[in-house]
Amino acid sequence: MKKIIGYLSSYFREQLNFRYLVVLILFIALAVYLNFYVRSEDDWIKADPDALRRLLKYILGYACMFGGAYALLLPFDKDRSLRSLKLWSLIGFAVLLFAVRAWLLPDWAWLAHRVPTAYLTLSWKIIVNATGFVLLFIPCTLFWLLADRHREPLYGFHAKGVVLWPYFVLIALMLPLIIAAGMQPAFQSVYPRAAHLGLVPGNPHRMAATLAYEGVYSFDYVVTEFFFRGFLILPFSRIAGPRVILPMCAFYVSIHFDKPLGECISSFFGGLVLGILSWRTRSIYGGVIVHLGIALAMECVGGLL
């Protein structure tokens, strides 16, 4: 724990630009307000019947959050490294990947003609969670093979010299907060996710189907850590150093716009801590432990309360 605290305090003491932090927090607060109180994502993007227009809106939305966070950083760019064409190409690539991942959902009507009604919701949710592997993990891995495989292990899949047990302590410290959140109606309407699979109690395959869903759901957290704390930190930081952490946090908040407000806000702080640790250790394993551990704890708390 002392080493983790040291990594965090060193970042805040030596690397963090507090003026930029204030500007970015105000920017994120405005985006969160527009989403939760004006319902910009639900009413402006998801409700649009035109598929191509929805995709363009997702691209625009993520470009505003991720690219906008970098644009706000430009006035503080003394060494001009943020003007790098490679950096902005990576930003565009990341935005496009996640926009397609958010947009490309399985067609419910098409699926309904091919899957029994009892397993329709389950199948749809498994496909949705599996798209992260296809649309994020595979393209980023191909990029690593082409550009970075001689520089470092696959973004963040590295454990040499990394002490992992303190991350389990972090999960234990988070449990009281998770339990407190579990008392809220907004939390209980979402978790446990396994309770919203459309599987009736008498279904003979209910347990196996639930475990299959939880497996795919859990692996999607590995993909999320790989994308946000691996791909968006490690190759980006070779260009712009630790300044890449806060723009990643802004992007990370935007993918929580469909979650309860408290979870959305806390995603900034969780992303910041995990981003700092990924940058210092060059590993995502600690983040996977924390992120997946908290997700499964939320499932358990949701099921018990």
The residue with greater pLDDT, 196 or 13, is: 13
User: Which CA distances in Å does 189 have to 186, 209, 227?
Assistant: 5, 21, 28
* 192 — pLDDT class (breaks 50, 70, 90): confident
Alpha-carbon span 175 to 298, nearest angstrom: 9
Looking at residue 29, what is its pLDDT? 95
113 CB-side CA count, 13 A? 4
Instruction: Decide if 188 contacts 182 (C-beta within 8 A).
Output: yes
Banded model confidence at residue 79, pLDDT cuts 50, 70, 90: confident
**pLDDT at residue 187 greater than cutoff 90:** no
Position 1 pLDDT exceeds 80? no
The predicted model gives 234-255 an average pLDDT of: 96
Query: What is the rounded radius of gyration, in angstroms, for the C-alpha atoms of the chain?
Result: 20
- pLDDT class of 185 with cuts at 50, 70, 90: confident
- Mean pLDDT over 215-222 rounds to 92
What are the tens digits of pLDDT across the range 268-291? 998 999 999 999 999 999 999 998
Q: Give the model's pLDDT for residue 305.
A: 67
- pTM equals 0.91
pLDDT at 209: 87
The share of the chain scoring above pLDDT 70, in percent, equals 100
pLDDT at 67: 97
